[in-house]
Amino acid sequence: MKSCPHRRIRPLGEGAVGDVHLCVDVMRRRLVVVKWLRAEVHEGSEAAQRFAREAK
């Protein structure tokens, strides 16, 4: 399993399918905002497809 390049600092919010956190990009040493898809949302589900569209 590949390690995540982001270290969470604090939560910023929650949505229907994901959680948003303020993070540090460990390699580039900068602040970023990352939205993670919740584990209970299955790949290929409608919610996962919405999440992918939002990311684009």
Closest by alpha carbon to 38, among 11, 7, 17? 17
Q: What is the CA radius of gyration of the chain?
A: 12
**Residue 22 has what pLDDT?**
97
Residues listed for the chain: 56
**Residue 50 has what pLDDT?**
83
Q: Tens-of-pLDDT digits for all 56 residues of the chain?
A: 568 899 999 999 998 788 999 999 999 999 999 988 887 888 888 888 888 888 78
- C-alpha 30/C-alpha 7 separation (Å) is 11
**Residue 15 has what pLDDT?**
82
Q: Is residue 27 packed enough to be buried (19+ CB in 10 Å), middle (13-18) or exposed (0-12)?
A: exposed
Any idea where the domains of the chain sit in the sequence?
A: 6-55
Question: Which residues contact residue 5 at a Cβ distance below 8 angstroms, ignoring those fewer than 6 apart?
Answer: 25, 26, 27
